[in-house]
Structure 1
Amino acid sequence: MQFQFNTNSSVMGTENVAERIEAAVRQKLARFEERLTRVEVHVADDNGAKHGAADKHCTIEARPRGGKPIGVTARADKVDDAARKAATTLAQRLERHFGKGEKDKHAARPDKVL
């Protein structure tokens, strides 16, 4: 699974921030790693140097093999919290997405005996 991290100019795009967020997202999505080709994380601070409630947001887009991209966005006071929330939501959506495909792969129903 390829991992891509993007940030706007108002968020410190240092290696430390990128490494922390990548580790948190990879941990949440570990069980889907073989089914995903790429995960893109976009982090931004809406109002820059000014502080505000839930002004950081994180958008994560996952690309399942042979499927359409699935994206989620979360907001929080801190970048790490926004990334954690988005990764949790994405894991839930991927569970539903992949679960739908598995649901149709059940064994055929045996004929009723009367």
Structure 2
Amino acid sequence: MIIQVNTDKNIASNEELVGQIEAAVESNLRHFRDQITRVEVHFSDENSHKGGKPDKRCLMEARLEGRQPVAVTHLAGTVSEAVGGAAKKMKASLDSALGKLGKH
């Protein structure tokens, strides 16, 4: 499972952030490892320089072998909370989609 991380100009990407994101994705989606070819994670700061919460948006898209991609979004006050929420939503979406097919 390849994990690709993208950020907008308002969120600084570094090795520590990428490591946190990869850990959250892998821990939540490890059950689906054989069905997922790639997970794309996109972060944006909805308010950029302005204050206000929640303003960190995480869009997560899982590319599945032989199926349409599954995408979820989560808004939170921090990038860590946003990726955690999106990963949990993705797990629930994949449980539902693949569970109906008896593929997990």
Query: What TM-score bracket applies, with the shorter chain setting the length?
Result: over 0.9
RMSD value over aligned CA atoms? 1.1
Query: What residue number does 2:87 align with?
Result: 87
Deviation at 1:46, TM superposition (A): 1.2
- Structure 2 unaligned spans of 5+: none
Give the distance between the partners of 2:49 and 2:11, measured in 1 at CA.
Answer: 9
Give the distance between the partners of 1:74 and 1:42, measured in 2 at CA.
Answer: 11
Give the distance between the partners of 1:19 and 1:51, measured in 2 at CA.
Answer: 26
- 3-state SS, counterpart of residue 6 of structure 2: strand
- Structure 1 unaligned spans of 5+: 104-114
2:44 counterpart letter in structure 1: A
Map of 1:57-96 to 2, 5 A cutoff? 57-96=57-96
- 3-state SS, counterpart of residue 9 of structure 1: coil
Q: How many residues align?
A: 103
- 3-state SS, counterpart of residue 42 of structure 1: strand
Runs of 4+ more than 3 Å apart: none
Q: Normalising to structure 1: TM-score of the pair?
A: 0.86
2:21 counterpart letter in structure 1: I
Give the distance between the partners of 1:65 and 1:19, measured in 2 at CA.
Answer: 25
Q: Normalising to structure 2: TM-score of the pair?
A: 0.94
Identity %: 40
After superposition, give the CA deviation of every residue in 1:66-113 in whole Å (9 maximum; x if it has no partner). 00000000000001101100000000000011111118xxxxxxxxxx
